Amino acid sequence: MSQQVRLRFAPSPTGALHIGGVRTALYNYLFAKKMGGTFILRIEDTDRKRFVAEAEDYINEALAWLGLTPDEGVVEGGEYGPYRQSDRKAIYAKYAQQLLDSGYAYYAFDTAEELDAIRKEEPNFKYGAESRMKLRNSLTLSQEEVDQLVASGDYVVRILLPAEEEIVFEDMIRGVVRYNSRDMDDKVLYKGSEQMPTYHLANIVDDYLMKISHVVRGEEWLPSTPLHVMLYRYLGWEESRPAFAHLPLILKPKGNGKLSKRDAAKFEMPVFPLDFEQEGQEKIKGFREWGFAPAPVLNFLALLGWHPEGDREMFSLEELVEAFDIEKVSKSGARFDFEKARWFSQQYLIATENKVLAEELQRILSSQGKDYSLAYLEAVAGMLKERVYFLSEMPVVGQYFFAAPNYEETLANEAKNLKKKVLKKWTAERAELFAQLPELLTASDAAGIKTAITSFMEANSLGFGDLLPFLRFALSGTMKGPDVFEMAALLGAEENKNRIQAFMAFCDAQ
């Protein structure tokens, strides 16, 4: 194995990058950076039937948004390129031929229809030691027939696995793993009709030529690893074989099966980093468009299967690099808890300086044609950030900071609650007291307003419940929200007066 630590994230551009793939990219990045190594992005586009043209750009954009910048890749370049497998097409035939020449592979000419017919008769059919001598391949046909069929280009190259051999390898997460070759297929390595390798050959050749030291990938690739181990041996690269680590699955929110894109609609949550819309299919909303910032997404994903020392949960990307240990990744699947993801988003909002939130909030409101000062929005952010999960929710949750309340609309939506808590208790005496409030809401700070209101209530033998719920509703049109005195101080005397008068007119009209 190479002394230099080099890890690659190697997605296939067959659609949107699943959040499980993002976690794989993150763990590769964390491991590489922790070890002072190189993080590589390689696009594995050998599956041309499932290829989606816009998927590669999506992958690059998602990694850029998250801050997982590759050191080498299609965009970044590097001395081991090209980093897109379709651009490396000429490389793979040489190694397929090497396997053929050394007797570790053979040509096969069976059609898809022929193999499908066999599988119907033999449900557990494997193209391997027990069946290959009964099929149409270079092991059973004459040299003349083989030459003619190869010349036509209508062939595949299959690996020649031993009839029965225990294949053993070490996994950094799972320990010693054992497979027997009798349970394996002679997998296709190269397709003559397309002049393209399959995933298995291209993956091994590229990892070797790019000097990959560690392969960190999803659990679904574990059954393919013994085949890859054999390819390293057959190609004479056993000494350069990378270390393997197979990550646990990300499970559905209820823990019953692997998280899929269908779960986005079923559980009303994102499963992709960014919005993705494929022609003829419905758009699926991504984490970014839900309102997440990159940092909480990375923090949430890092803890889906990895357990750092102690009970700490909040990490920056730099702190994740420092703390990450691949051997502390769990073998068992990790349940995708979207409420926990939302919690992370909220915690990051709370920890972010109000000034920073105000700048982003100003951009959001500006796009809606609304203009507010940073000082005003800084105060709004401070009052709302513990009441929302996403910054994008602030203009909705705190709409009363940007427009006077619509009491009629609230009555239509919450008639029972409003009548019970406000209108039923609205009397001529309360209206007389309430009419005096504007002159008490003129101080520029919350403390001054609180002092004035408290003195007024004491003078009139009132409790907080006798007045403040009405004041809150008058100013905000809702029965919940931030401190009412802070709200009044920010809105200012003139706006407070206008809202109180509008509220009184509304109550009198009911």
pLDDT tier, 467 (very low <50, low <70, confident <90, very high otherwise): confident
pLDDT in tens, 156-184: 999 999 999 999 999 999 999 999 999 99
pTM: 0.92
pLDDT of 2: 43
CB under 8 Å to 17, separation ≥6 — which residues? Answer: 11, 55, 58, 59, 62, 272, 273
Q: Which residue has the higher pLDDT, 256 or 153?
A: 153
Rounded mean pLDDT, 9-27: 95
pLDDT in tens, 75-123: 999 999 999 999 999 999 999 999 999 999 999 999 999 999 999 999 8
> With pLDDT > 90 as the criterion, what percentage of the chain qualifies?
83
* 355 three-state secondary structure: helix
**Cα 440–443–445 angle (5° rounding)?**
130
pLDDT in tens, 263-272: 998 899 999 9
What is the second-level CATH architecture of the domain 262-349?
Orthogonal Bundle (1.10)
Q: Which residue has the higher pLDDT, 489 or 310?
A: 489
The DSSP code for 308 is -
pLDDT of 256: 83
Question: Catalytic residue positions?
Answer: 261
The pair of structure tokens assigned to 75 is: 């965009």
Q: Which amino acid is at 123?
A: P
CB under 8 Å to 278, separation ≥6 — which residues? Answer: 15, 16, 52, 54
Nearest CA to 54 out of 274, 260, 301 is that of 274
Q: Identical fold at 90-197 and 407-509?
A: no
CB atoms under 10 Å from CB of 143, counted, come to 8
CATH of domain 6-73+204-251: 3.40.50.620
Does CATH place domain 353-393 in 3.30.200? no
pLDDT in tens, 270-325: 999 999 887 667 788 999 999 999 999 999 999 999 999 888 999 999 999 999 99
Rounded mean pLDDT, 118-138: 96
pLDDT tier, 1 (very low <50, low <70, confident <90, very high otherwise): very low
Domain regions of the chain by residue span:
6-73+204-251, 90-197, 262-349, 353-393, 407-509
Q: What is the mean pLDDT of the chain?
A: 94
Question: Is there a binding annotation on residue 385?
Answer: no
Class of domain 407-509 as given by CATH: mainly alpha
pLDDT in tens, 399-443: 999 999 988 887 766 666 666 667 777 778 888 888 999 999 999
What is the second-level CATH architecture of the domain 90-197?
Alpha-Beta Complex (3.90)
